[in-house]
Amino acid sequence: MASSWLPRWFYQLASPRWCYSITGKLIPWFAATGGLLFLVGLIWGLAFAPSDYQQGNSFRIIYLHVPTAILAQSFYMMMAIAGAIGLIWKMKVADMVAKSVAPLGAALAVLALATGAIWGKPTWGSWWVWDARLTSMLVLLFLYLGVMALNSAIESETTAAKSTAVLALVGLVNIPIIKYSVEWWNTLHQPATFKLTEKPAMPAEMWIPLLVMVIALYLLFGLAMMLRLRNEILRRERRAGWVKELLGS
Amino acid sequence: MAFETFADFLNMGGHGLYVWLSYGLGLLTIALCIYLPVIQGRETRRTLRRRIQRESIKS
C-alpha cells in the first residue's frame, strides 16, 4: 500500500479522469483572467509605461522578453519535476504533463531568444553574442528539442516517458547556470529585474506592468498546457470506460 | 500616455521596427500555442467518437 503521508489531492492528481474534469473547470477561468491581464499588461507596457532614459522605447520589448524567459525556465522545471514524479510514483498523469509542457517550453525559449535578439540589435549593436546568458538560454532550447525528439523516437509510451524524464532531470543543471550566468561571468546582459529578496531597481510604473505580463503569460501558457494535457489524456485513455461514456453520449 | 500622437506611438522613437517585430512574433506564438491544441482536441474527440460508435454497432 502506498504511504499515506501525502495529501489527498496528490492521489486525485494521479487519476486521469479527475484531471480531465478539473482542468475542464479551470480552463475558462484561466482564459478569462489570462486574456484580460494580457491585454492590460500589453497596453500598459506599450503605451503608458515611461520610456527608458538610456534605451528609449526599445526597452518596451522587456514586457515580452522577461516573461517568456521566466516561463521558459519554470516550464522546464515543471517538466523535470513532473518527469521525476512519473519515475518515482509511476504516475501516468505526471508523464502526460511532462509531455504536454515540452513543446510550449520550446516555444517560450524561442520567443525569449528571438525577442532578446531583436532587443539586442538597437541596444548592443548586435543580434547575437556568444555570451553566458544567451548561450545557456540556447542550451535550454536544445534541451527542450532533445526531450521532444527522444519522446517521439521511442515507441512505448512508458519507456519514452522514463527516458525523457531522465534527460529532463539531467538538463536541470542548466537552470541555475542561466540564473547566475549574469553574476558568474562578464556579460552584456543586464541583471535580473525581479529578485526575491530586493525591490526592483526600476520604478514602479515600469515594473508593475511587467509583473502583470508575467502573471498573464503564466495563466495563458497554463491554459495551453491544460488543453494539451486533456488531448493527451483522451488519447491515452481512449479505451477507458469513462472516456467512452463521455464521448459516446 | 508616454506618446503625444499615434504616429509617435508607431514610431517608438525610431525603434518601431524592433518593438513591433517582437510583439508581432510574440502574439503569433502565443495565439498558436493556444489555438493548435484546441483544433487538435476537436480532431481527437471526433476520431474517438467515430470509433466508439463503430464499436457499439459491432457489439
| Domain residue ranges of chain A, discontinuous segments joined by + | 25-192+203-231
Cβ of A2: how many Cβ atoms within 10 Å? 9
Q: Are the beta carbons of A31 and A227 closer than 8 angstroms?
A: no
Which of B3, B16, B48 has the CB atom closest to A238's CB atom?
B48
Nearest to A132 by CA among A92, A176, A189: A189
What is the full DSSP assignment across A84-143?
A: HHHHHH--HHHHHHHHHHHHHHHHHHHHHHHHHHHHHHHHHS-S----HHHHHHHHHHHH
Give residue A196's pLDDT. Answer: 72
Give residue A9's pLDDT. Answer: 75
Chain A residues whose CB is inside 8 A of the B45 CB are 234, 247
- The answer, yes or no, to whether residue A113 has pLDDT greater than 90, is yes
What are the sequence ranges of the domains in chain B?
31-59
Give residue A124's pLDDT. Answer: 87
Share of chain A above pLDDT 90, in %: 68
Query: Which pLDDT tens digit goes with each residue over A174-200?
Result: 999 998 888 888 778 888 887 777 778
Determine contact: B30 vs chain A, CB below 8 A: yes
Determine contact: B54 vs chain A, CB below 8 A: no
Give residue A185's pLDDT. Answer: 82
Task: Give the mean pLDDT of B42-50.
Answer: 93
State chain A's mean pLDDT as an integer: 91
Give residue A74's pLDDT. Answer: 96
Give residue A106's pLDDT. Answer: 97
Q: Which residues pair with A56 in a beta bridge?
A: A52
Which of B14, B21, B29 has the CB atom closest to A118's CB atom?
B21
Query: Which pLDDT tens digit goes with each residue over B10-40?
Result: 888 888 899 999 999 999 999 999 999 999 9
Chain A residues whose CB is inside 8 A of the B1 CB are 47-48
A107 and B32 within 8 Å at the Cβ level: the answer is yes
pTM here is: 0.92
Query: Which pLDDT tens digit goes with each residue over A70-94?
Result: 999 999 999 999 999 999 988 999 9
Query: Which pLDDT tens digit goes with each residue over A7-27?
Result: 777 777 788 999 999 999 999
Give residue A198's pLDDT. Answer: 78
Cell numbers at A148, concatenated: 521532444
Q: Is A145 helix (H, G, I), strand (E, B) or coil?
A: helix
Cell numbers at A161, concatenated: 516517458
- The answer, yes or no, to whether residue A101 has pLDDT greater than 80, is yes
Going by pLDDT thresholds of 50, 70 and 90, the confidence category of residue A1 is: very low
Q: Are the beta carbons of A141 and A114 closer than 8 angstroms?
A: no
For chain B, the helix, strand and coil percentages under 3-state DSSP, each to the nearest 5:
90, 0, 10
Give residues with Cβ within 8 angstroms of A134, minimum separation 6: A113, A116, A128, A189
A57 and B49 within 8 Å at the Cβ level: the answer is no
Cβ of A56: how many Cβ atoms within 10 Å? 16
Give residue A249's pLDDT. Answer: 67
Chain B residues whose CB is inside 8 A of the A38 CB are 30
Q: Are the beta carbons of A249 and B57 closer than 8 angstroms?
A: no
